[in-house]
Amino acid sequence: MRTGKSRRFGFITTNSLPQTFSRRVVERHLADKKALSLVFAVPDHPWVDAADGAAVRIAMTVGAAGNRLGRIATVEHQVPANDRQGRDVELTTNLGKIHSNLRIGADLTTVNSLEANGLLSSPGVKLHGSGFIVTRQEAKSFGLGKIEEVEQRIRPYLNGRDLMDKPRGVMVIDLFGLTDVEARQSCPGIYQHVFDHVKPERDHNGRRSYRKYWWIHGEPRKELRKALSGLPRYIATVETAKHRVFQFLDISILPDNKLLNIAISDASALGVLSSRIHVTWALAAGGRLGVGNDPVYVKTKCFDPFPFPISSENQSLAIGDLAEELDPHRKRIQADHPDITLTGMYNVLEKLKSGKALTDSDKDVHGRGLVSVLKDLHKPLDAAVFTAYGWDAGLNDEGILEKLVALNHERAREEANGQVRWLRLEYQAPDEAARATRRAGNHGRGRGRGRARQETPLAQKTLPAQFEAVRDVLDAAETPLRAEDVARNFSRANKNKVTEVLHTLNALSQVHMVGDARFAA
């Protein structure tokens, strides 16, 4: 092409071409001094072949020499054809510079992972042994509910279908941190089950470490466990799902490999991730998978580079309050109506937003699932997040992406100059958190003890001020206090936030834990 011997070339590839690994090849040629350009592309198109039963998704691209604009054709609608095997497909076409991710407009291929988001996100455990999964009845036979060591080694277990469809109600054996001898001595019943139901499978595994440490999950996610330590809950989303939904999971739950987990317990973070701004970003930055063409939440492209808003204390509180209402609402619906799934609720929600007619089945989900309430919760949440960014709520999707790309570049420049806007300072940068705590402690010397109830909500204080305020409450107490006892000293206090502050102070040796989750100065 560069020598002028060809005018154009075309490829039919899998629709994974725009994803991170594959698009490096395209990026190299687009950025070359003698650049090639994509002049036509269909990023995602169905391929149905009745002869061999194939039903996959493909991309089609056409390239030419020079730095040129191109046309992107996007599948707008597709239905099964009436008179033959295949699909009737309607395309819409747009003109612009086609990037290596087969998009025009905001160039998401130029964003950088941010230090501010580092160390917080990870997929869940990868078992490499179905024998680790047990029913609740099997768990009871091992001593669940009676033997303390068993309580620590059998945990609730959730995968993607459990969250978005119907939960299986299963548990998982977790012997992480134990040698095989320790496991046998402390939990002989569990050990025998794993020996009988996991070891035979592992003995034939091609990876030596999986064979050697057969009683431990294949990928136990040490870093995720470290990040979750001390938190009462964390945020999770299903890696591949029709709808991008984020929710809190209790810290007792061990997540499956197909869940992307974020070690943050703050409700305002859940609110931002659940907003239209982040969902628009995730859909554009992530990939697509399978004949269902479901969006994939790619950690390195969807979470790590995403620039969170620098919101005021009041803005964070407003976002958090809405998230604390949204998450329990969905969980209550699922508890009251086990046949209604998150996928079903969001299917109906999307129809309500688009004005499409509801089927009888949709109307049933809408009525029992309180989907209009769900819609009414998302609307003010979106507005609150737009306010936190300082952006016009009327921005279209492309406008949102352009602003997020620009903000990512700005944050990357800040970090290069040493300014990092940590999401969890006390975990991501403990030395910096300790310095902030010492500064707050020095500032507070000489003040009297026994402070009255504080009228400023804890969430509206800076992090050093939160540390100081919680420590002052413990200083004034005659006996060790639980998190809920400390929370009563603040107006509109969130027990989970107080618990997080207490565990952080404990890790920094600013307070200490006494017995059954009580804390003392």
H/E stretch holding 111 reads none
pLDDT at 257 exceeding the cut of 50? yes
Our measurement of the distance from residue 115's CA atom to the centroid of its chain's CA atoms, rounded to an integer in Å, reads 17
Asked if 344 and 330 count as a contact pair (C-beta separation under 8 A), the reply is: no
pLDDT digits (tens, 9 = 90+) for 264-290: 999 999 999 999 999 999 998 887 765
Asked if 384 and 322 count as a contact pair (C-beta separation under 8 A), the reply is: yes
pLDDT digits (tens, 9 = 90+) for 191-249: 999 999 999 999 999 999 999 999 999 999 999 999 999 999 999 999 999 999 999 99
Our measurement of the distance from residue 487's CA atom to the centroid of its chain's CA atoms, rounded to an integer in Å, reads 28
pLDDT at 455 exceeding the cut of 60? no
What's the chain's average pLDDT?
88
Dihedral through CA 326, CA 426, CA 488, CA 476, nearest 10? 180
- Comparing CA positions, the residue from 332, 335, 334 lying closest to residue 324 is 332
CATH 1.10.10: does it fit domain 425-520? yes
State the Cα angle at 302 between 298 and 304, rounded to 5°.
105
d(C-alpha 1, C-alpha 7), whole Å: 6
What's residue 200's pLDDT?
Answer: 96
- Comparing CA positions, the residue from 58, 56, 76 lying closest to residue 10 is 58
Among 88-92, 379-383, 399-403, 414-418, the range scoring the smallest mean pLDDT is: 88-92
What's residue 453's pLDDT?
Answer: 47
- Which part of the chain has CATH 1.10.10? 425-520
d(C-alpha 497, C-alpha 179), whole Å: 35
d(C-alpha 6, C-alpha 174), whole Å: 59
d(C-alpha 215, C-alpha 69), whole Å: 56
pLDDT at 356 exceeding the cut of 90? yes
d(C-alpha 477, C-alpha 486), whole Å: 9
Interior/surface letters 270-283, b for 16+ CB within 10 angstroms, e for the rest: bbbbbbbbbbbbbb
d(C-alpha 102, C-alpha 117), whole Å: 26
Greatest mean pLDDT among 101-105, 108-112, 328-332, 479-483 = 328-332
Q: Count CA atoms closer than 13 A to 375's CA, side-chain side.
A: 16
Among 5-19, 249-263, 282-296, 387-401, the range scoring the smallest mean pLDDT is: 282-296
What's residue 450's pLDDT?
Answer: 39
What's residue 454's pLDDT?
Answer: 52
pLDDT at 391 exceeding the cut of 50? yes
d(C-alpha 149, C-alpha 169), whole Å: 21
Under 8 Å CB-to-CB from 301, ≥6 apart: which residues? 20, 108, 285, 286
pLDDT digits (tens, 9 = 90+) for 25-45: 888 888 888 889 899 999 888
Among 51-55, 98-102, 407-411, the range scoring the smallest mean pLDDT is: 51-55
d(C-alpha 153, C-alpha 176), whole Å: 8
- Tokens found for residue 474: 């413990």
More confident of the two residues 304 and 466: 304
